[in-house]
Chain A
Amino acid sequence: MRFHLLLILAAALVYGAARAIGLDYVFFAGYIVLQYVALATAWNILGGYTGYMNFGVSAFFALGAYTTVALDKAFGLPLPVMMLAGGIVSGLVGLGMGYLTMRLKGIFFAIATFALAVVAETFITNWDYVGGSSGAYIIRPVKGPLYGTYIEYLFLLMLVVVVVSLAIARWLERSRLGYGLAAIRDDEVAAEATGVPTLGLKLIATTISGALMGVAGAPLPFYITFFDPSAGFNLAYAINSIAMAMIGGTASWVGPLVGAVLLATVQQVATVTISSEINLLLVGGLLVLFVVLAPNGIVGLVQGRWRWRR
């Protein structure tokens, strides 16, 4: 309970600081950083806690976004409602993926997630209602429903998503569910042998992970206003989520937060200063470096030094 209050306080401070600076640009860039915090945290639930590497991040993310496109076109619902819908859709897809891949482990699971992303993309590109390959235009209102600009509103929504994701991740980590997931990660066969309900746990993990990714993706069409398959189904989301979680450290909820804030901020700065390709170069390079030299991520390094000092 105390943790949750602290978390909300931290979020309020972030929002307050952003408002104080008063530039739309801060909300614009900040939205992306927050989005990646949510994605990395969601990925880590399946990747770090359970040990199953998901390459199909873009599928869940984009399906959340396309849910928004479809619902906005059909009903024009308020964004938070569409975000929940996006979460439900992606959560269900996560559940389905869990079932399909229940007998797959390790690399085969990863390949299957990759295949899933392609299949999802193919279906969307053939669905004319949401624009198919040509994409869809979303008219973004100028003012947000509360006060400020619409982009400030998007920033606020994403902040809420981040708070919820971090809370869920931390809760999962410390619950019996989490111990079960860790058991699966460390030795699935042994876990099964000792009676851990591995299938059920894996399904829960894929569902929660997928749902959070869908919620994170849902506001994106309003952010870019022109949404086509390449905006959502981009392999860059996979590498960013994976890199941020692994560079930060996959063992706890802090890792993805640290990794995402650092990496995403650097990327935003690089885009407008040096060049834009540099982004993925940085991400790839850092990922390789950390995976080879510091497999426990930044959090692992810090913890190691701590322990060493004592």
Chain B
Amino acid sequence: MTIGNIGRIAGRAALVAMAMLGSIALASAAEPIKIGMGMAQTGPLAGSGKSALLSMQIWVEDVNAKGGLLGRPVKLIYYDDQSSPANVPPIYTKLIDIDKVDLIVSGYATPIIAAAMPIAMQHNMVLMGLFGLADNARFHYDKYFQIAPIGENPSESSTKPIFDLAMTLNPKPKTVAVITPELEFGHAILTGVRKNAKELGLTVVYDRTFPPATTDLTTVVREVQASHPDIVVVGTQPGQTISAVRAISEVGLKAMMIGGAMTGLQTSPTEMLLGPQLNGFVNFNYWLPSPKMQFPGVMDFLGKYQARAEKAGVDPLGYYIGPWAYAQMQILGQAVEATKSLDGAKLGPYIHATTFKTVVGDVKFGPGGEWAKPRVLMAQFQHVTGNGIAQFKGSDKLVVVDPPEYKAGDMIYPFQDARK
């Protein structure tokens, strides 16, 4: 055994050892960070569910292109909750127990998020909520963060903008009617309307809720018509929104202003279906491609989204939920990078304390997990002709009328004037 030989053997052994250590390190570095969720791909919520999923997948690709999170690739694991809250607990249990996900985000809509809360709380994990109304009101979970800019007082912020607008009308309205279903969501709307009406001195002349499964709302609209309201607040979920618009058209309801919290009117398939029947409705939006809303990265994201949307069979424009689903993931990712951790105990407090820069602008959460300051836009459909999609791509058929800092045009009233 010469010294040279020993040296050579030692050298090779060292190389092998390093290679082994290196591959172990590489293997654990390559071990992906798994983010799990249940997201509606079928059922009434699937329209937004599928759109959200595509947006999140784009975010995953973007993040992985830049090297992933904490040097590891990100992987999305999802199951279809079929728009049914009953399916949510088993899905999240499977995600955590069997798929061993590191992080979770919620599905879309209030009851779906609520069903996932207990499990998130049980495992002390951060839960990012996608478009839920007042989900944390009874849980008071300190690691829940909801991305829609509704604010800490949801029933107020979903109805106050309509009343703010109503008070700019001349003459001032005196009576208000509400069309809303018998659901948690509907109750929040009712509470908000009653509170705002009381504060501003309006009389509520109709506030009967309708069964959620109703497809023919003409009777309800007739009843509203019989009470001669000055303004009509409509608070509905996607399927009911279409029924409401059609019923209002069929009955020929007249008022100074109609609309408010009609979910689903923001997605392009619905816009195309209803076409000119939309004219005059004033409705909430979270984001529109308005000149004052071009936050950094949002148009890039929408470009990628819209290129793939048609093929994926989702909302082709994606304005309603796309940027928000993307922003939610951005926040989660930024928190993970900043705290260098996947642990809810570290992520939670960090997210509470930070103002994030996202594709929907600056995001700061309040103590209950909602936006510290709401940012709900009110926009009116004007001069919509035919059922083509191109007219909805810009922002001239959907004119932002409130709040003043984002305003793009004046509201046309009374309602029937906008229908001509």
| Contact present for A225 and B115 (CB under 8 Å) | yes
Question: In the complex, which residues 130-159 of chain B have their Cβ closer than 8 Å to any Cβ of chain A?
Answer: 138-139
**Set of chain A residues within 8 Å of B49, measured between Cβ atoms:** none
Q: Which B residue's beta carbon lies closest to that of A151?
A: B93
| Contact present for A231 and B98 (CB under 8 Å) | no
Query: Counting CB contacts under 8 A, is B178 at the interface?
Result: no
In this complex, how many residues of chain B approach chain A with their Cβ under 8 Å: the count is 36
Given A275-B80, A276-B82, A134–B186 Cβ distance below 8 Å?
A: yes
- Identify the interface centre among B85, B88, B91, B139: most chain A CB within 10 Å of its CB: B85
Residues of A in contact with B, size category = 20 to 34
Query: Counting CB contacts under 8 A, is A235 at the interface?
Result: no
| Contact present for A23 and B111 (CB under 8 Å) | no
Query: Counting CB contacts under 8 A, is A277 at the interface?
Result: yes
Given A224-B115, A276-B42, A28–B93 Cβ distance below 8 Å?
A: yes
| Contact present for A23 and B211 (CB under 8 Å) | no
Query: Counting CB contacts under 8 A, is B181 at the interface?
Result: yes
**Which residue of B42, B86, B98, B184 contacts A224 across the interface (Cβ within 8 Å)?**
B86
Q: Which of A136-144, A165-173, A247-255 contacts B (4 or more CB under 8 A)?
A: A136-144
**Set of chain B residues within 8 Å of A29, measured between Cβ atoms:** 90
In the complex, A234→B87 CA distance in Å?
A: 14
Query: Counting CB contacts under 8 A, is B118 at the interface?
Result: yes
Per-residue interface assignment for chain A, residues 116 to 130, with 1 indicating a CB less than 8 Å from any chain B CB and 0 otherwise:
000000000100000
In the assembled complex, the CB of B87 is this many whole angstroms from the nearest CB of chain A, namely 7
In the complex, A217→B82 CA distance in Å?
A: 22
| Contact present for A224 and B183 (CB under 8 Å) | no
Secondary structure at the B interface, as helix, strand, loop or mixed, is: helix
| Contact present for B118 and A140 (CB under 8 Å) | yes
| Contact present for B93 and A226 (CB under 8 Å) | no
Query: Counting CB contacts under 8 A, is B198 at the interface?
Result: no
Given A125-B182, A134-B184, A140-B118, A224–B111 Cβ distance below 8 Å?
A: no
| Contact present for B182 and A134 (CB under 8 Å) | yes
In the assembled complex, the CB of A197 is this many whole angstroms from the nearest CB of chain B, namely 41
Q: Which A residue's beta carbon lies closest to that of B115?
A: A226
Query: Counting CB contacts under 8 A, is B94 at the interface?
Result: yes
In the assembled complex, the CB of A226 is this many whole angstroms from the nearest CB of chain B, namely 5
Per-residue interface assignment for chain B, residues 111 to 136, with 1 indicating a CB less than 8 Å from any chain A CB and 0 otherwise:
10011011001100000000000000
| Contact present for B93 and A135 (CB under 8 Å) | no
| Contact present for B138 and A132 (CB under 8 Å) | no
Question: In the complex, which residues 246-302 of chain A have their Cβ closer than 8 Å to any Cβ of chain B?
Answer: 271-272, 275-277
- Identify the interface centre among A125, A132, A133: most chain B CB within 10 Å of its CB: A133
Query: Counting CB contacts under 8 A, is A24 at the interface?
Result: yes
Query: Counting CB contacts under 8 A, is A223 at the interface?
Result: yes
**Which residue of B42, B91, B138, B183 contacts A277 across the interface (Cβ within 8 Å)?**
B42
In the assembled complex, the CB of B5 is this many whole angstroms from the nearest CB of chain A, namely 53
Query: Counting CB contacts under 8 A, is B212 at the interface?
Result: yes
Given A224-B86, A275-B80, A276-B42, A137–B93 Cβ distance below 8 Å?
A: no
Question: In the complex, which residues 207-236 of chain A have their Cβ closer than 8 Å to any Cβ of chain B?
Answer: 223-226, 228, 230-231
In the assembled complex, the CB of B72 is this many whole angstroms from the nearest CB of chain A, namely 25
**Set of chain B residues within 8 Å of A223, measured between Cβ atoms:** 89
Per-residue interface assignment for chain B, residues 63 to 80, with 1 indicating a CB less than 8 Å from any chain A CB and 0 otherwise:
000000000000000011
Given A25-B94, A277-B42, A133–B212 Cβ distance below 8 Å?
A: yes
Interface residue ranges, A against B (CB under 8 Å): 23-25, 28-29, 32, 125, 132-135, 137, 139-140, 142, 149, 151, 223-226, 228, 230-231, 271-272, 275-277
Between-chain CB contacts (< 8 Å), 27 pairs? A23-B97, A23-B98, A24-B93, A24-B96, A25-B90, A28-B93, A28-B94, A29-B90, A32-B90, A133-B209, A134-B184, A135-B111, A135-B183, A135-B184, A139-B138, A139-B139, A151-B93, A224-B86, A224-B88, A225-B89, A225-B117, A228-B85, A228-B111, A230-B84, A271-B87, A271-B90, A276-B42
> In the complex, given contacts A28-B93, A225-B114, A271-B90, what are 12 additional A-B residue pairs having Cβ atoms less than 8 angstroms apart?
A28-B89, A133-B211, A134-B182, A134-B187, A135-B184, A137-B138, A224-B115, A225-B89, A226-B85, A275-B42, A276-B82, A277-B42
